[in-house]
């Protein structure tokens, strides 16, 4: 079901509570990756252009309902001022007298960033009274925080029960591209699913089986499939309680499923471990699979060559270690050069695309991790379901 967006409502001179996802990686007060800020700019710019009073609401980190000084949003406000080329006012709370006073000073086109909404335990509890307090600051609610749309929190779901609630431009884009995978894909459709554990992505793989033409399984989760195929995987990460499930998926998928045929192995789980490339059926005792080998990546490239849509979630190896990120980097380059509609999501794979400088060569790099995965699983996202239908 398509949702109403900010384009479908009148925002002029309205107080607009805009839920954004500014939960960015930060170190010593320095933002390491501002993708989630830049991704929100089109909606902020739209609201400012049409004369709204923009009230930004976000969480940051895991303060667990307490005020944590290191998790205040001041560094984010500073970077946002640079990106917007305009002032961004701040408040020391997200509800109460100070927030109300800050909102009262806004004029059309102004931007205010409320303090970390997770400083209040009522946020994650989706407390109705807290949601009503947040809603009282505004006339309209816009959710542009796709990365938190799978959480039924006060600022993502509860507040939408008190105000006209629509999607922002980023939310609209995220839903559009993911619907191209699960609802109206241009075929053939290919999917690359990686990551450490099959148990984390079982529902995703199961749901995709019914729609994909090519399914590549990589990362640590591929080890469980290899072992279920009867191969010896040495000391590799394996979920023995998922072997039966892996066998079932392989039987259902048939020739559409692709597993590594050669692998990069290491004698320890360490960035500087001794490494070598071997066939997938030749892993020695004591060694562990850490990445897909070049033969595997070449086979995936051929299998995906005719696809019109390709979605990628999760690395092919232990990508945080440079020598075991080569398979993931190679598949990123393959997809970047592909003529298909290419969609990547999930924290690690999206970060890898950005680190390799290929972001602009993908059709869509999602800002969502858990939300991206749950959408592929076929689950309803609370932060989307509550928005007005188009």
Residue 258 scores a pLDDT above 90: yes
Confidence of residue 65 (pLDDT cuts 50, 70, 90): very high
Among the listed residues 219, 347, 368, 383, the single catalytic one is 347
Confidence grade of residue 267 (pLDDT, cut at 50, 70, 90): very high
User: Of residues 36, 48, 118, 151, which has the active-site annotation?
Assistant: 36
What are the phi and psi torsion angles at 159 (to 5°)?
A: -65, -30
| HSE, side-chain direction, 13 A CA sphere, residue 275 | 21
Measured distance CA(386)–CA(364) in Å, rounded: 24
Tell me the sheet residues that pair with 289. Answer: 265
Inform me whether the pLDDT recorded for 160 exceeds 80: yes
What domains does the chain contain, in order, with CATH numbers? 6-170 (3.40.50.1260), 185-376 (3.40.50.1260)
Model confidence at 85, in pLDDT bands (50, 70, 90)?
A: very high
Please say if the pLDDT value at position 347 is more than 90. no
pLDDT band at residue 243 using 50, 70 and 90 as cut-offs: very high
Q: Is a pLDDT exceeding 80 seen at residue 164? A: yes
The active-site residue, picked from 61, 109, 370, 378, is 370
- 370 in active site: yes
Q: What is the pLDDT of residue 184?
A: 87
Residue 275: pLDDT over 80:
yes
Residue 1 has pLDDT above 90, yes or no: no
Active-site residue flag, 36: yes
Which of 197, 206, 308, 379 is catalytic? The answer is 197
Does position 188 have pLDDT exceeding 90, yes or no? yes
Residues counted in the chain: 390
Instruction: Decide if pLDDT at 346 tops 90.
Output: no
Q: DSSP character for 389?
A: B
**The pLDDT value given to residue 42:** 98
Q: What is the mean pLDDT of residues 364-382?
A: 93
Euclidean distance between CA atoms 5 and 169, whole angstroms: 7
The predicted-structure confidence for 295-329, as pLDDT tens digits, reads as follows 999 999 999 999 999 999 999 999 999 999 999 99
Number of other CB atoms surrounding residue 275 within 10 Å: 17
Q: What is the DSSP letter of 360?
A: G
**Considering the chain, what percentage of its residues have pLDDT values greater than 70?**
100
pTM: 0.93
């Amino acid at each position: 079901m398509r949702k109403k967006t900010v384009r479908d409502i009148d925002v002029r001179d309205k107080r607009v509570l805009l839920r954004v996802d500014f939960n960015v990686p930060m170190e010593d007060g320095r933002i390491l990756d501002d993708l989630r800020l830049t991704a929100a700019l089109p909606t902020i710019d739209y609201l400012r252009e049409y004369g709204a009073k923009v009230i930004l609401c976000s969480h940051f980190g895991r303060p667990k309902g307490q005020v944590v000084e290191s998790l205040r949003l001041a560094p984010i406000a500073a970077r946002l001022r640079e990106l917007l080329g305009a002032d961004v006012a701040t408040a020391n709370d997200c509800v109460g007298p100070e927030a109300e006073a800050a909102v009262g000073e806004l004029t059309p086109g102004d931007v205010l960033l409320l303090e970390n909404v997770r400083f209040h335990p009522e946020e994650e509890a989706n407390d109705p009274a807290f949601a009503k307090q947040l809603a009282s600051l505004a006339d309209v609610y816009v959710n542009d925080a796709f990365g938190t749309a799978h959480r039924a929190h006060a600022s993502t779901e509860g507040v939408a029960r008190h105000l006209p609630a629509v999607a922002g431009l980023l939310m609209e884009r995220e839903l559009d591209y993911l619907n191209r995978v699960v609802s109206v894909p241009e075929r053939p459709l290919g999917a690359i699913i990686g990551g450490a554990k099959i148990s984390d992505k079982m529902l995703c793989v199961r749901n995709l089986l019914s729609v994909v033409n090519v399914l590549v399984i990589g990362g640590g989760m591929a080890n469980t499939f290899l072992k279920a195929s009867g191969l010896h995987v040495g000391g590799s990460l394996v979920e023995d309680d998922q072997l039966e499930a892996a066998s079932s998926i392989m039987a259902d998928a048939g020739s559409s499923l692709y597993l590594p045929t050669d692998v990069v192995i290491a004698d320890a789980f360490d960035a500087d471990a001794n490494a070598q490339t071997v066939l997938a059926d030749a892993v020695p005792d004591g060694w562990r699979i850490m990445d897909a080998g070049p033969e595997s990546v070449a086979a995936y490239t051929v299998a995906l060559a005719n696809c019109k849509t390709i979605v990628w979630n999760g690395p092919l190896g232990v990508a945080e270690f440079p020598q075991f990120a080569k398979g993931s980097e190679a598949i990123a380059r393959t997809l970047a050069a592909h003529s298909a509609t290419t969609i990547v999501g999930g924290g690690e794979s999206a970060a890898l695309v950005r680190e390799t400088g290929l972001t602009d060569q993908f059709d869509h790099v999602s800002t969502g991790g858990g939300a991206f995965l749950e959408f592929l699983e076929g689950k309803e996202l609370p932060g989307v379901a509550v928005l007005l239908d188009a």
